[in-house]
Amino acid sequence: EVQLVESGGGLVKPGGSLRLSCSASGFTFSNVWMSWVRQAPGKGLEWVGRIKSKTDGGTTDFVAPVRGRFAISRDDAKSTLSLQLNSLKTEDTAVYYCATDRWGAFDNWGQGTLVTVSS
Amino acid sequence: DIVVTQSPLSLPVTPGEPASISCRSSQSLLHGNGHNYLDWYLQKSGQSPQLLIYLGSTRASGVPDRFNGSGSGTDFTLKISRVEAEDVGVYYCMQALQTPRTFGPGTKVDI
């Protein structure tokens, strides 16, 4: 059974940093592209960014509002995905989900972790 | 960026009756490989989203066959043949042809 478990969310002040983790199990993590999707309170879904498998180059891509502030990395040995959030803004407040990214679809999702940016 | 729109934004449904949601994209989602890169997701209250349909019309594993996706290019439809009470929630379409991936605003389905 595929499991994705996010952690690391919390309350942070504007301008601060946070590192989210996503622990994966039940599939061969190294073979799969992974994405982060966020959802602001009461709002819709927004794709944040993606990291390809190392076989496919391991490159990352981000939505414009977070480009240059967020970074995605993966540790295939530990089946762990990370999202580094820097220079946080109040508008980054959201539940952050990690998801497997196959055939352009997010076929498995974690339960999400809440990031609150507030002074 | 590709803009994705949905209609209606709110859809009252009756159990046992069919329901339909429309999704449109600002650019064709038809890839050269013949696939349309359009997905459908359902987010039930208090839960993470779940994949229903990918590549425009392929049902995800475990998704009941009352859910059907159709369309090509810029116009897509999700049809529920006979709505069940458990189908309530917010439905999102998302284009997966290019980054940034973009979601529609969501359609709230309730009874």
**Which of B36, B101, B102 to probe by mutation at the A interface, max A CB count within 10 Å?**
B101
Residue A101 pLDDT > 90, yes or no?
yes
Q: Residue A103: which pLDDT band, with cuts at 50, 70 and 90?
A: confident
Which residues of A fall within a CB distance of 8 Å from B51? 105-108
Distance CA B86, CA B108 (A): 13
- Inter-CA distances, A17 with A47, A88, A96, Å: 20, 6, 15
Is pLDDT at B37 greater than 90 in this prediction?
yes
Average pLDDT of chain B, as a whole number: 97
| Integer Cα distance of B37 and A86 in angstroms | 31
For residue A10, name the pLDDT band (cuts at 50, 70, 90).
very high
Per-residue pLDDT, averaged over A107-112, amounts to: 97
Please enumerate in sequence order all residues whose Cβ is within 8 A of that of B109, keeping only pairs 6 or more positions apart, or say none. Answer: B11, B13, B19, B21, B83, B87, B88, B89, B90, B91
Asked if the C-beta of B37 comes within 8 angstroms of chain A's C-beta atoms, the answer is yes
Please state the rounded mean pLDDT for residues A110-116. 98
Average pLDDT (B22-38) is 96
Position B29 scores a pLDDT of 97
Contact A34, A74 (CB under 8 A): yes
Up-side HSE of residue A19: CA atoms within 13 Å toward CB?
Answer: 7
Rounded CA gap, A37 and A14, in Å?
20
Q: What is the mean pLDDT of residues B56-78?
A: 97
Q: What is the pLDDT of residues A30-87, one digit of tens each?
A: 999 999 999 999 999 999 999 999 999 999 999 999 999 999 999 999 999 999 999 9
> Per the CB < 8 Å rule, is A47 touching B106?
no
- B103 pLDDT above the threshold of 90: yes
3-state secondary structure of B9: coil
- Does A47 contact chain B (CB < 8 Å)? yes
Smallest CA-to-CA distance from B5 within B64, B76, B73 is with B76
- Give the pLDDT of residue A104: 86
A91 at B interface, C-beta within 8 A: no
B11-24 pLDDT tens trace: 999 999 999 999 99
d(CA A33, CA A103): 10
A104 contacts B100? CB cut-off 8 A: no
Question: Considering only CB atoms, which chain A residues are within 8 Å of B55?
Answer: 103-105
What would you report as the CA-atom Rg of chain A, rounded to the nearest whole angstrom? Answer: 13
Note the pLDDT of residue A89: 98
Q: How many percent of chain A have pLDDT more than 90?
A: 98
Phi, psi (rounded to 5 degrees) for B85: -60, -35
